[in-house]
A and B are shown apart, each in its own frame.
Chain A
Amino acid sequence: MTDPTPTASPPLLAIRGLSKAFLGVQALDGVDFTVRHGEIHALLGENGAGKSTLIKTLTGVYQRDAGTVTLEGRAIAPRGVEEAQRLHIGTVYQEVNLLPNLSVAENLFLGRQPMRFGFVDRGAMRRRARAVLLPYGLSLDVTAPLGRFSVATQQIVAIARAVDMSAKVLILDEPTASLDAQEVTVLFKVMRTLRSRGIGIVFVTHFLDQVYALCDRITVLRNGRLVGERRTAELPRIDLVAMMLGRELEAAAHRIAPTMDDAEEDARPPLVRFRGYGKARSVEPFDLDIRPGEVVGLAGLLGSGRTETARLVFGMDRADRGEAAVDGQAVRLRGPRDAIRLGFGFCPEDRKKEGIVGALSVRENIILALQARQGWLRPIPRRRQEEIADRFIRLLDIRTPHAEQPIQLLSGGNQQKALLARWLATEPRLLILDEPTRGIDVGAHAEIIRLIERLCADGMALLVVSSELEEIVAYSRRVVVLRDRRHVAELRGGEVAVDRIVAAIASEPAVAGEPRP
């Protein structure tokens, strides 16, 4: 238990040895985290790192299993957000947790309205609301409903409320995710002002540029453990990315020798070709070719535009610029049905919400895409459905008591395999997999990777999004690297290696430009 800062006075907020488990999964494992007076402290980590668990445990939404939390040397244990606020820890979420149909003033003083003669003193409330918002450069009609203002304004109101309720620690959970550049600038100004007043700010974000623009210190979590705390000035980007992704760069696995000569490979006509393809507020325009029998990986941090690219390719989201062609023929992807007709398949990242049809059986889930493509007038006979389902259940080793089991009762890995089966049953030419191994146990994980390799060998084209870099490196012939919603690099053949991907992710935006060949 060593405090890295050699100061005599206790730090503003000190978390030591914090642990929290859910149903046997260790979400936080002995994490230390320190916030000092007057600093902006970035809390970073990829999916499942434990950031949100840390915040929720700190603010008492969850109760910790072990560890201590001290605020200015005093041990605290809040049992909810309100109590945390009374103990000077304020939280502002990305989706502002205020009431949009109440006025700005009412939101600011909700639960602590100025009273007179047992009634809410509206005049005083309005006056005080204006006074509170003034330092933030906000002069607005405090009687108007909060929901009428932009998300950025709502966030500043939420911050003002938290600070006015004497917050000493302010937690901002992805505040910039839905703001435009100008709004971000305004928010940053507010954050710097608060820092100068001695408030400690915990800043959770996925945007590395913002971290380097604003933060004094960085704490990185990975898989529920503390990776380290560094001063921003002393931490090169590449080291930060390595910390987040958990790689020792020397040990980065290089790709097995390319199977085919790259030049020869590139000469083959692509199955699909995208030129200047993109969608405003989603992904900047990109070029992308995928050839039969090749796996193209999409790598990048969370929120970098990987998933958005995959969804555009499948038509789940509709592009607003650029061209797409299949076999050299221009095509329009207005929706999944267009993509499926062209022989595409897509296993989405959020299996529950966009993949499985939970209450239906494994059999029905497997034949659904095939049936949809055939149209409702040409039903697949029940016998044939059972054959297809049974074949894939055996082939992919889907663990289910029988094909009539509702798919929602299967484990995540088996649901994923059933979704793969759904697309394999359509004999696709291009299969798009978004995080195919997320939330899947180790055994199923290996099986799915073997399957990807085998499908590729059979001549199928694959586009795979994964945050597991080793995985991507292992099966991809080419890797497209994304950062801040932009395709920043395309690695091929011998270039496909973890350290190269990490370097591309960490490349400075000003220097990097578009390092495409």
Chain B
Amino acid sequence: MTRSVSSGPSRTLPQYGALAAVLLANWLLFPDFFSIRLQDGRLFGSLIDVLNRGAPVALLAIGMTMVIATRGVDLSVGAVMAISGAVAATLTQAGWGLTPVLAASLGAGLLCGLWNGLLVAVLRIQPIIATLILMVAGRGIAQLVTEGQIVTFTSPDLAFIGSGSFLTVPMPVVITAVLLGVTALLVRMTALGLMIEAVGVNRLSSAGAGVNTPVVLIAVYVWCGLCAAVAGLVVAADIRGADANNAGLWLELDAILAVVVGGTSLLGGRFGLLLSVVGALILQAMNTGILLSGFKPEFNLIVKAGVLMIVLLLQSPTLTLFLPRPARPRPVQPPAPSRAKPESPSPSAGA
């Protein structure tokens, strides 16, 4: 966990710097940007909007980070969002209680992830193609569930997930923080993180060292499916309805972008969960800024592309050569006299 968060100041500088810069630009465009007040017991303000609206992409980015760390990609997360939202709204409308609804909806996400994982790990289909299948089919499945309509529900329980608050913090933000924490614990307090990185850097070598590569791959796609299902729930709960046609549309690309902006390489290997979430917040801060700015909507994409280019340029390997290197980690410890006991069968006479 420590590594994902503190990989040295200069490695994380571009991300935090970019976030700060975008927030600053928003503040210049809109002086009230940082003002926060309580509204009906819930924090209210543009900064809160950035966190709240950034939550779905941040949730996707958490799962996507690990998939990308294995040198894969999951294009189906947007469609999985639509499925999970559709399942939740339809069952809620049919009168199910909150717990079974959540179970069914998250279960759908897990199943989708399992499908992707099996295609990638067992059938060895390239991830971009394997997940493309569900990207296309998934939205169709969601439409089948909703019968092509926007399924609206009134259950305040489910709506709470999208627009409720916990200790004044909006629920989507709370959920994202919790999922980030759980995921970080899962990968950094176990050896899963190491396995994911090893598989991403060199699948052959990892398999040769005994890493169960299929299980690692399936695990990351399943987790990614779960994250997408949570994101789908949040979005459906927020608008009190499931819009199978539009929920999560193109968000897979935003999620991939968030991960890349967060500094995880598409070539796999080292990953940073928190940085991916920061990446998602950078994207959302830009969106919110554009909305607040009053520019004509025709400029949205151009502004977004321009800012992104600057962020990515800051991370380019060619340019980072000019940035200061991280401090050297600890050197090899000299042998402690008390631990000089030889350990068979390794050579003991000293090399």
A contacts, CB < 8 Å to B? 316, 335-337, 340, 346, 348, 353-360, 364, 368-369, 371-380, 386-387, 390-397, 400-404, 422, 424, 427, 447, 451, 454-455, 458-460
Contact = CB atoms under 8 A, between A and B. Distances in A.
Interface string B190-203: 11101101100110
A445 to B, nearest CB: 14
B294 interface: no
Given A364-B198, A379-B189, A447 B205 contact: no
A346 B332 contact: no
**Residue of A360, A372, A403 ringed by the most chain B CB atoms within 10 A:** A372
B209 interface: yes
A376 B205 contact: no
Contacts of B205: 353-357
A396 B207 CA distance: 24
A458 B190 CA distance: 33
A209 B158 CA distance: 77
Given A336-B210, A364-B198, A402 B345 contact: no
A368 B211 contact: yes
A454 B210 contact: no
Interface string B201-221: 110111111111000100000
Nearest to B192: A376
A395 B212 contact: no
A441 to B, nearest CB: 15
A357 B201 contact: yes
Interface stretch (B92-100, B101-109, B241-249, B323-331): B323-331
14 contacts: A336-B207, A356-B202, A356-B205, A357-B202, A359-B197, A360-B201, A368-B198, A369-B209, A372-B195, A372-B212, A390-B333, A402-B329, A402-B332, A454-B349
A376 B195 contact: yes
B104 to A, nearest CB: 28
Given A356-B202, A371-B194, A402-B330, A337 B212 contact: yes
A368 B209 contact: yes
A390 B332 contact: yes
B197 A360 contact: yes
B189, B198, B339 — most chain A CB neighbours (10 Å): B198
A197 to B, nearest CB: 45
Contacts of A374: 191
Q: Is the interface of B mostly helix, strand, loop or mixed?
A: loop
Given A354-B204, A394-B351, A360 B198 contact: yes
Given A395-B351, A404-B329, A454-B347, A372 B209 contact: yes
Given A368-B198, A372-B195, A377-B190, 15 more contacts: A353-B202, A357-B197, A357-B205, A358-B201, A376-B216, A379-B194, A380-B191, A386-B333, A395-B351, A402-B332, A427-B344, A447-B351, A451-B351, A455-B345, A458-B344
Nearest to B334: A394
A372 B210 contact: yes
Nearest to B344: A458
Contacts of A346: 208
B43 to A, nearest CB: 37
A353 B204 contact: yes
B269 A376 contact: no
In the A-B complex, the 9 residue pairs with the closest CB atoms:
A372-B210, A404-B329, A458-B345, A340-B210, A379-B191, A376-B191, A369-B209, A454-B347, A397-B351
B53 interface: no
A369 B208 CA distance: 9
Interface in B120-166: none
B347 A458 contact: yes
A501 B194 CA distance: 44
B350 interface: yes
A393 B334 CA distance: 10
Contacts of B192: 376
Nearest to A379: B191
Contacts of A401: 328, 331
Contacts of A393: 332
B185 to A, nearest CB: 12
Contacts of B335: 391, 394
B347 A455 contact: yes
Contacts of A316: 208
Contacts of B210: 336-337, 340, 368-369, 372-373
B240 interface: no
B39 interface: no
A373 B206 CA distance: 12
B297 to A, nearest CB: 42
B234 to A, nearest CB: 29
Given A358-B202, A401-B331, A336 B208 contact: yes
Nearest to A339: B210
A415 to B, nearest CB: 11
B318 interface: no
A492 B6 CA distance: 57
A358 to B, nearest CB: 6
Contact of A427 (B190, B195, B332, B345): B345
Nearest to A458: B345
Contacts of A376: 190-192, 195, 216
A108 to B, nearest CB: 33
A78 B141 CA distance: 61
Contacts of B347: 395, 451, 454-455, 458
A379 to B, nearest CB: 4
Q: Which of B201, B205, B269, B350 has the most chain A CB within a 10 Å cutoff? A: B205
A368 B350 CA distance: 23
B328 A402 contact: yes
A346 B206 CA distance: 12
A379 B193 CA distance: 10
B212 A402 contact: no
Contacts of A458: 344-347
Contacts of B328: 401-402
B332 A354 contact: no
Contacts of B346: 392, 395, 424, 427, 455, 458
Of A360, A369, A400, A458, chain B has the most CB atoms within 10 Å of the CB of A360
A395 B190 CA distance: 28
A172 B260 CA distance: 46
Contacts of A354: 204-205, 208
Contacts of B343: 391
Contact of A422 (B189, B195, B207, B209): B209
Contacts of A380: 191
Given A372-B212, A394-B351, A357 B332 contact: no
Contacts of A379: 189-191, 194
A359 B265 CA distance: 12
A397 B208 CA distance: 24
A353 B344 CA distance: 30
Contacts of B349: 454
A348 B207 CA distance: 12
B201 A378 contact: no
